[in-house]
Each structure stands twice: as structure tokens, then as C-alpha cells.
């Protein structure tokens, strides 16, 4: 029996088609890794030297898995095959030949921290105003330029006539100058300099074109412009290029991925063969029918439809709850019941969500129920840096005896208190047998404290003020006062605007937790207190002793779930405003919405046997109760695929044009008084600080012109035509646009 007999017809066709450009459209769970490894084996059988084969993946884990599978099939013959990530391959090439483009072969590779340090030096050398040009924003712009293969010269030419952008061009040029001076490359350079080398040096280009006569690229939908060009050059001589990917699973645009690389493959390679792998080996047909129905609403895609021999399977459970609290309670209870009845193990279940902040309620429920869980692609909610920082402030204010808490926040945000001063305070506290905070109260008695005294006294004054505020304010308002007086949010934005968004979402979720604690205390007739809140959080957060070898329920974001599979999947928070995101809806960006829909498709296709889709009518965001509509993605799933417990009823179409809403099997009391939705009101008649026609700067989209400003009930809605990102609509409060 041949090893190829285990492949289906389309898989065999992909394996045996070895000459010329080939696009393999591999749907979710269609066995693409098996195809790639068998294709390597077949090439070797046909007399191709392993030395002439290159296989590129996106992660080291995927590369190692492919190496192991190749070795299992071809044995020692696979030893000289290059199986690596893009960046690993480029480093190998550059170590041998980078001297041909002016660098020494012992170049240094700068990581993110090195890049930040270098950019700070560039900012200092050019006397750049960091209030206008944030360090992280400049690094992001430079990275984007490199990924699009835009040189400093070309970047400057494009900025002609725009003073602010000319400044950014100077930063880019000086940044490159300093890299060269230090004989260093950043992460983007590993790709860009390899392309530059191949373009400029005919001898090197010819060598690697002859070396890599058969090239295979996995996850092709995730490639960016420079990766596309790198592969194009390497394969240009023999043109035996096989790319494998699924445009329906392209979900990394925010990392620079260009979906057009896979959508336009046949335009670049006119003689390309296209083979679709549509047979799925993972899921039931019901789950695949739901995924197909959702993704077919995207216009920018290759037509395909997944099918399986696994059988029809169970219908999809769709549950609508009054609140996010009830959503979490149901999901955790459902998993617990299945395990008790012996139907599944904990590890058979995965809870997927759009944002990391959504994990908090599930974590609390799991801890309360004594169910082990593990967060993949993130950390425990209460172990995240920003949450630990806020909790440390609360602990410091509560009694001041927690030395670890005080030391954590004494220089957070940065207030110029160095390690030397902290150590002197600590030594004094130990000598006098007092707490660290008590030592701070008498800091003027500490020997050799010197110029650090005024900064320590300023910190103590802040804590003493907050202690007084605690007695006057409710817990919810008190936490907001801490964030305001410490300027913690502002420090996150200055530190790293891109990461700050996720951290602020987590802080918003924490504030929601505080509000929920107060509401529960009032409902129970108890007094809400800081000590009581800290006690409740401590019980929830104490999960660090869980053994990772145990049987876990998996929690993760949808982005982290790509490539994984589970017998049972709970896709949660399926509400317009959360998934798809609020900003995607407001911006009315078709491309962004299609990416969100692809993310939904990825989530659905993680499920093997059972899929549960949940949403909540109300959810607390940033301490405010918000009422969201059912996600438009749920409304795209045919009703016959959904369990009877979630029947759709027709209603008058809403403003978005959707005429269905889920009915959960219970009837709400029509005389029940509804809690009014809290609103952010626009009271400042002076406007957001800029007018139509003004030039403004956005940390992500760059510089643009304001074309419209509308005062809404929640905020000012601002429309901006950005020079490079196009037209975007956003709320002024969140956009934080800076007038130029």
C-alpha cells in the first residue's frame, strides 16, 4: 500500500503536481500539513535532491512539526531540506552574504527593547517633540514602511509638501543611519535586507535560485508585501512555487498581512494551477454548514465550501442571556454537567472570545466552581500587569502594610524614584523594624536619601490624598479617582499606544468588576468596602498553584485559537459592538468587517462535534451597562442548523436592516421597568479641539484632514480623510486626535 493511498483525490493531485506555480486553497481542517509533507516525500521519490527543497512556515513550532513529519516519511533523506520560518531563513542567508550590501556578517539583531532605545536616541538627536511624535508611533510607521518596501528616500518623496510627515521621514532616515552605524538589523530588516541583497547581487541571487528549485510556503494568506517579493525572487528561475493557504482564515491584517497576496496569485502567475482542499476531517457537517453560510457573505474571497464524511452531527446551540454574568454562569455550568455525566473531559472544551478582557467572568465562575482552566495566549486576568498595578494601589491605600504592593507602585507610573532610593528606604525599614510605607512617612530621617527625598514625599502625599478620598467616595468612583490622579492611563498610551488599547480594555473590565461588586453588596444589604472587594478578588485570583499537567478547560481569544481544534467550542460575546467591534461598525469599513467575519469563521471551525454560540443583552463595559444587539454574524447562520431552544422570530427591521432576533424560550414581563442606558453626553460647546478642515494626527492612521464633525448623544463623531489610511469615522474621546 502506497503512503499516498491515504490521501483524498484533491490532496493527491496537490502532491503529484510538482512543476510550475501551484496555489493550494486549503480550507480549515483539510489536512494541508499532510499534503506538504507528502509532497516533499514525492519530490524526493522523483529524484529531486533534498538540498533543492525549501519549505517555509510562520512559526518555529510549525517548522519543527513539519521537520518531524518529513523525517517520519523520508527518514535521513530529509536532513538537508530547509524547513524554517521566514526570519530564520533570512538570517542564514544574511550571515553568509550581508557584507555585499555594506554590513559585517557579525551583525546584531535588535529586539523590541533595543529598537525603543535606538528610537529614543534618534528622537534626542533630532530634537523631536515627543508630545506630537510618540516613540511607539514612530517605530510603527517605520515598520510599516519597511514591510511595504518603502525606503527612506521614497518615503521622503511621498511626504513632499507635508511638514509633519517630512519630520517622520527624517526620523526614518536617521533611524536607518544609526542601525547601519551599529551594524545592526531590526526584525523587519531581516526580510528587507535579504530582498535588497537578492535584488542587488546577481551572484547571490543566482546561487539561491539554483539552490531552492522547489519552494513551498505555508499560511500564505498571512504574508506581507516584502515576504511576497522575497518568494517571488527566489522562485523566479524555476517557478516551482507551491503556496498553501486559506483566504477565509486571513485574520492578521493588524500585523501587516496582505490578503491580496493569495487573492491575486493567479494574476501574478498566469499559468498557476489552483487546487481546492474542501474536504474537512475535523468537524461535523452542521458546523461546516454554519461556517460556510457566514463566510459566504464576504465579497473578497475565493469561492469554496467545506464538506465532510464525519456525518451531520448535532445542531448548534445558540443562547441569549440577559447579562454577561448569566452567560458565564451557563457556559461554566454546562461544561461542569457534561464532565459530571462522563460525556467529556475538561480539556475537550474551549471558550473563545473577541477580547482578553472577556475572560474575567469565566475565570471567576471557574474558581468558584472549583473547575481547572488555562488561558492560552494570555495570562490570568488578575495577573495582568495593569490589573496588578491597580490592585497594588488599592492594597497600599487599604492598610499600607503590604510592602510588595507599595514597592510595586512607588515608581508606577514613572516618577523618577530609582532603585537606589528604594533600596535605602527598604534598608531603613528593616533597621527600624517598620513597614516600607512607614519608612516613607519618615523619609527625611533616612541617611543619604539626598535628592530623592522630594520625590518620595510627593508619592506619600499622593497616597495620603487617596486615603482621604476613599472615605468620601464610593468604591467605583474611588477607583476612577486613582486612575485620574496617578495618570496611569496616560502613561500606558505614552509607553506603547498599540498595547495600551488592550490594557485599557482590561482596566475597563476591572472597573466593571468594581461596579458589579458594589451592586451585589447593595442587593445583599451589605456595606461595600475596599477591604471586602480585595478579599473577594484575592479568592478569585488565587489560581497560580494549578498544575498545568491537569485536565483544563481552555480559554483564549479567537486570534489565539487559529490552528487549534476542540470537541466542544463555546463562541461567546456574539454581539454587535463586541464582535464585530464597535469601531468596525462605526467606521463602516467593509474590509475591516470582512476581517471580523473571517475571525468568526475561524472560531466556528475550531469545533469538532459541538458548537455553542452565546450573547448577552446587556454587558458592563468601562463600568457602564451597555445594551447590544445580537451579532450580525449569528443572523447569517441558517435557522435549520440551530437547536429549537434558540428559535428566530421575525420583527420589524432595525436600523441596520436585520429583521431577526433570537428568542430564548422565555417570556419577559412586559410591565418590568427597564434600566435606562447610561449615556456620555456632549456638554462642551467648544467642540473636540479642532474643526472641519484642520489637519490632525492619529497614533495608528497618521496624519489626515477632518472632513466632518457631528455632535451625538455619546460623543463627537469625527470623520477624517487620512493621507495613507483613507476615510475613517471615530469618536473623539477614543481617537485622541492631535491638531497639527
Could you list the residues known to form a binding site for ATP, using ranges.
26-33
Residue 40 to residue 37: CA distance in whole angstroms? 5
Catalytic annotation, pick one of 174, 219, 289, 592: 219
604 touches 294 (CB < 8 A): yes
Catalytic annotation, pick one of 174, 189, 218, 364: 218
Annotated binding site: 26-33
CA 259 to chain centre: 17
| Cell numbers for 423 | 533600596
CB atoms closer than 10 angstroms to residue 227: 24
Main-chain phi, psi angles of 55, to 5 degrees: -125, 125
List of residues 6+ apart from 253 with CB closer than 8 A: 259, 591, 595
Residue 539 to residue 534: CA distance in whole angstroms? 9
Pairing of strands 349-353, 624-627: unpaired
List of residues 6+ apart from 51 with CB closer than 8 A: 80, 81, 211
Main-chain phi, psi angles of 738, to 5 degrees: -110, 125
Residue 606 to residue 609: CA distance in whole angstroms? 10
| Cell numbers for 494 | 505614552
List of residues 6+ apart from 557 with CB closer than 8 A: 352, 353, 354, 355, 356, 377, 378
List of residues 6+ apart from 239 with CB closer than 8 A: 20, 21, 269
32 is catalytic: yes
Q: Which residues pair with 648 in a beta bridge?
A: 662
Burial profile 89-110: b = 16 or more Cβ within 10 angstroms, e = fewer? bbbebbeebbeeeebeeebeeb
Taking alpha carbons only, the member of 145, 141, 163, 132 closest to residue 697 is 132
Main-chain phi, psi angles of 470, to 5 degrees: -60, -35
List of residues 6+ apart from 384 with CB closer than 8 A: 356, 378, 503, 506
Q: Which residues pair with 708 in a beta bridge?
A: 719
Q: Which residues pair with 557 in a beta bridge?
A: 353
| Cell numbers for 620 | 458592563
Residue 729 to residue 712: CA distance in whole angstroms? 13
219 is catalytic: yes
Pairing of strands 702-711, 716-722: antiparallel
* DSSP per residue, 630-654: BPTTGGGS-GGGB-GGGEEEE----
Residue 269 to residue 265: CA distance in whole angstroms? 6
Burial classification of residue 468, based on how many CB atoms lie within 10 Å of its CB (0-12 exposed, 13-18 middle, 19 or more buried): exposed
63 touches 83 (CB < 8 A): yes
Catalytic annotation, pick one of 39, 146, 606, 618: 606
Residue 373 to residue 357: CA distance in whole angstroms? 16
List of residues 6+ apart from 241 with CB closer than 8 A: 21, 22, 215, 217, 231, 235, 269
Residue 534 to residue 398: CA distance in whole angstroms? 9
**718 three-class SS:** strand
Catalytic annotation, pick one of 12, 32, 165, 632: 32
366 touches 332 (CB < 8 A): yes
List of residues 6+ apart from 413 with CB closer than 8 A: 486, 487, 488, 490, 491
246 is catalytic: no
Residue 353 to residue 359: CA distance in whole angstroms? 8
550 is catalytic: no
SS3 per residue for 287-327: HHHHHHHHHCCCCCCCCCCCECCCCCCCCEEEEEEEEHHHH
462 touches 437 (CB < 8 A): no
Catalytic annotation, pick one of 33, 296, 625, 740: 33
136 is catalytic: no
606 is catalytic: yes
Q: Which residues are catalytic?
A: 32-33, 218-219, 249, 606
Amino acid at each position: 500500500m502506497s503512503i499516498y493511498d491515504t490521501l483524498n483525490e484533491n490532496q493527491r493531485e496537490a502532491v503529484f503536481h510538482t512543476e510550475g506555480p501551484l496555489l493550494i486553497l486549503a480550507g480549515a481542517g483539510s489536512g494541508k500539513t499532510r499534503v506538504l509533507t507528502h509532497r516533499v516525500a514525492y519530490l524526493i521519490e522523483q529524484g529531486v535532491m533534498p538540498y533543492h527543497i525549501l519549505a517555509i512556515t510562520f512559526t518555529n513550532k510549525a517548522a519543527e512539526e513539519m521537520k518531524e513529519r518529513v523525517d517520519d516519511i523520508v527518514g535521513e533523506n530529509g536532513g538537508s531540506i530547509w524547513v524554517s520560518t521566514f526570519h530564520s531563513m533570512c538570517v542564514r542567508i544574511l550571515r553568509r552574504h550581508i557584507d555585499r550590501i555594506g554590513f559585517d556578517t557579525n551583525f546584531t539583531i535588535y529586539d523590541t527593547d533595543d529598537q525603543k532605545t535606538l528610537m529614543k536616541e534618534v528622537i534626542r538627536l533630532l530634537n523631536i517633540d515627543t508630545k506630537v511624535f510618540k516613540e511607539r508611533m514612530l517605530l510603527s510607521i517605520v515598520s510599516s514602511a519597511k514591510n511595504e518596501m518603502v525606503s527612506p528616500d521614497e518615503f521622503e518623496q511621498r511626504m513632499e509638501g507635508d511638514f509633519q510627515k517630512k519630520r517622520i521621514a527624517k526620523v526614518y532616515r536617521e533611524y536607518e543611519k544609526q542601525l547601519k552605524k551599529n551594524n545592526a538589523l531590526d526584525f523587519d530588516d531581516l526580510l528587507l535586507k535579504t530582498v535588497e541583497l537578492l535584488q542587488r547581487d546577481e551572484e547571490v541571487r543566482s546561487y539561491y535560485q539554483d539552490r531552492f528549485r522547489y519552494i513551498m510556503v505555508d499560511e500564505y494568506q498571512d504574508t506581507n508585501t516584502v515576504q511576497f517579493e522575497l518568494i517571488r525572487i527566489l522562485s523566479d528561475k524555476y517557478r516551482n512555487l507551491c503556496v498553501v493557504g486559506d483566504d477565509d482564515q486571513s485574520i492578521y491584517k493588524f500585523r501587516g498581512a496582505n490578503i491580496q497576496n493569495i487573492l491575486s496569485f493567479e494574476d501574478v502567475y498566469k499559468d498557476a494551477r489552483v487546487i481546492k482542499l474542501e474536504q474537512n476531517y475535523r468537524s461535523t457537517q452542521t458546523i461546516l454548514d454554519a461556517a460556510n453560510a457566514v463566510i459566504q457573505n464576504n465579497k473578497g474571497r475565493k469561492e469554496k465550501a467545506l464538506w465532510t464524511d464525519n456525518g451531520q452531527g448535532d445542531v448548534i446551540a445558540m443562547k441569549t442571556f440577559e447579562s454577561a454574568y448569566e452567560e458565564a454562569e451557563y457556559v461554566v455550568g454546562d461544561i461542569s454537567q457534561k464532565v459530571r455525566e462522563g460525556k467529556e473531559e475538561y480539556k475537550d472544551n474551549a471558550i473563545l472570545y473577541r477580547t482578553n478582557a472577556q475572560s474575567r467572568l469565566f475565570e471567576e465562575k471557574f474558581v468558584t466552581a472549583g473547575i481547572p482552566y488555562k488561558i492560552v495566549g494570555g495570562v490570568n486576568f488578575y495577573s495582568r500587569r495593569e490589573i496588578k498595578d491597580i490592585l497594588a494601589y488599592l492594597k497600599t491605600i487599604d492598610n499600607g502594610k503590604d510592602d510588595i504592593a507599595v514597592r510595586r507602585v512607588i515608581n508606577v507610573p514613572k516618577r523618577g524614584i530609582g532603585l537606589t532610593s528604594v533600596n535605602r528606604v527598604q534598608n531603613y525599614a528593616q533597621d527600624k523594624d517598620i513597614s516600607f510605607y512607614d519608612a516613607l512617612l519618615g523619609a527625611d530621617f533616612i541617611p543619604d536619601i539626598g535628592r530623592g527625598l522630594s520625590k518620595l514625599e510627593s508619592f506619600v502625599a499622593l497616597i495620603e490624598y487617596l486615603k482621604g478620598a476613599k472615605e468620601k467616595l464610593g468604591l467605583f468612583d474611588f477607583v476612577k479617582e486613582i486612575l485620574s490622579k496617578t495618570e496611569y492611563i496616560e502613561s500606558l498610551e505614552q509607553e506603547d499606544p498599540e498595547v495600551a488599547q488592550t490594557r485599557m480594555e482590561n482596566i475597563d473590565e476591572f472597573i466593571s468588576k468594581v461596579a458589579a461588586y458594589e451592586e451585589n453588596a447593595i442587593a445583599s444589604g451589605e456595606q461595600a468596602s475596599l477591604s471586602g472587594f480585595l478579599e473577594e478578588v484575592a479568592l478569585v485570583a488565587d489560581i497560580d498553584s494549578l498544575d498545568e499537567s491537569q485536565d483544563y478547560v481552555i480559554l483564549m481569544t479567537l486570534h489565539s485559537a487559529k490552528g487549534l481544534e476542540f470537541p466542544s467550542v463555546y463562541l461567546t460575546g456574539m454581539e454587535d459592538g463586541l464582535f464585530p467591534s464597535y469601531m468596525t461598525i462605526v467606521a463602516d469599513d467593509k474590509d475591516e468587517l470582512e476581517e471580523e467575519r473571517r475571525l468568526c469563521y475561524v472560531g466556528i471551525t475550531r469545533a469538532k462535534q459541538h458548537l455553542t454560540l452565546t450573547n448577552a443583552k446587556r454587558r458592563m463595559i468601562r463600568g457602564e451597562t451597555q445594551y447590544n444587539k445580537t451579532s450580525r454574524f449569528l443572523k447569517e447562520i441558517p435557522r435549520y442548523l440551530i437547536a429549537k431552544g434558540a428559535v428566530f422570530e421575525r420583527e420589524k427591521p432595525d436600523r441596520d436592516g436585520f429583521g431577526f432576533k433570537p428568542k430564548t424560550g422565555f417570556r419577559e414581563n412586559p410591565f418590568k421597568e427597564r434600566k435606562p442606558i447610561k449615556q456620555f453626553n456632549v456638554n462642551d460647546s467648544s467642540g473636540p479641539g479642532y474643526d472641519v478642515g484642520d489637519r490632525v494626527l492619529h497614533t495608528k492612521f497618521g496624519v489626515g484632514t477632518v472632513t466632518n464633525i457631528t455632535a451625538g448623544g455619546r460623543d463627537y463623531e469625527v470623520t477624517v480623510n487620512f493621507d495613507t489610511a483613507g476615510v475613517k469615522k471615530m469618536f473623539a474621546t477614543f481617537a485622541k486626535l492631535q491638531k497639527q
